[in-house]
Amino acid sequence: MKFVRARFGGEVFYAVVKGDKLLRLNGVPFDGVSYDGREYPLSGAKLLPPCEPTKFVCVGKNYWEHAEEMKEGHPAEPLLFLKPSTCAVGDGDEVVYPELSKRLDYEGELAVIIGKRAHAVEAGHAKDYIFGYTCANDVTARDIQKGDPQWTRGKGFDTFCPFGPWIETELDAQNVKIVTRLNGEQRQSSNTSMMTHGIDALISYMSACMTLLPGDVVLTGTPAGIGPMQRGDTVEVEIEGIGVLRNTIV
């Protein structure tokens, strides 16, 4: 199933995508799927970020070839960092190129949406806490990231985490193709099977130190092929079995 957060006629709600229609839900889907009986045309709705995370928990250098291109070594354990919730924008929204930066990069990633409170999750049990998956772009002010001793500022500007267009709940996320295109030209191409640390291991590792809440987003790392974006560029992140996330830089 595909779940969205949408705006239609001034109202914001969660819904299930069924063909060319949105089937409105009562409340949030993490509490259980309950339809309220109203339907809307998908074409007339504005798709918002598909959930409202308290935080984005992210992983650096989780694809071997990306770690190689960064020339900063291979972390033995997952390298974690956070993005604030104010980074969130949805499919079709604009990403703002900050005046403070001279180098803004795309990083296409698979995003995992947490479905229920997760703390100290045992290895092998992460699937019990996953609601679904979507596409994400871990936008990075590379010059700021490189200049600071930690990554918060370079990764944390407003609009720096587009994700969407929806949450797909029926996906074998361990083995799907991920592609990033800049102005229609392919720049990244890999498969989630190439992650150094898999999704189960990541959630177990993260939840050992922090509680993941329903709607929180786990970014699983980017493949090789990162590069700069300019104002006016369009970036697409496409993941097999999910769809395409498309944003413009302004």
What is the full DSSP assignment across the chain?
Answer: -EEEEEEETTEEEEEEEETTEEEEESS-GGG---EEEEEEEGGGSEEEPSS--S-EEEEES-BHHHHHHHTS---SS-EEEEE-GGGEE-TTPEEP--TT-S-EEE-EEEEEEE-S-BSSPPTT-GGGGEEEEEEEE--EEHHHHHHSSSSHHHH-STT-EEEEEEEE-S--TTS-EEEEEETTEEEEEEEGGGBSS-HHHHHHHHHTTS-B-TT-EEE----S--EEE-TT-EEEEEETTTEEEEEEE-
Give per-residue pLDDT as tens, 75-125.
Answer: 789 999 999 999 999 999 999 999 999 999 999 999 999 999 999 999 999
Whether 2-48 and 56-249 share one fold: the answer is: no
Evaluate whether the domain defined by 2-48 bears CATH number 3.40.1170.20: no
Position 138: which residue type?
Answer: D
Look at residue 66 in the predicted model and tell me its pLDDT. 74
Residue boundaries of the structural domains of the chain:
2-48, 56-249
Q: What are the pLDDT tens digits along the chain (250 aa)?
A: 999 999 999 999 999 999 999 999 999 999 999 999 999 999 999 999 999 999 999 999 998 777 677 666 677 899 999 999 999 999 999 999 999 999 999 999 999 999 999 999 999 999 999 999 999 999 999 999 999 999 999 999 999 999 999 999 999 999 999 999 999 999 999 999 999 999 999 999 999 999 999 999 999 999 999 999 999 999 999 999 999 999 999 9
The fourth-level CATH superfamily of domain 56-249 is Fumarylacetoacetase-like, C-terminal domain (3.90.850.10)
Average pLDDT, the chain: 96
pLDDT at position 71, please? Answer: 66
Give the global pTM. Answer: 0.96
User: What's the confidence (pLDDT) of residue 76?
Assistant: 84
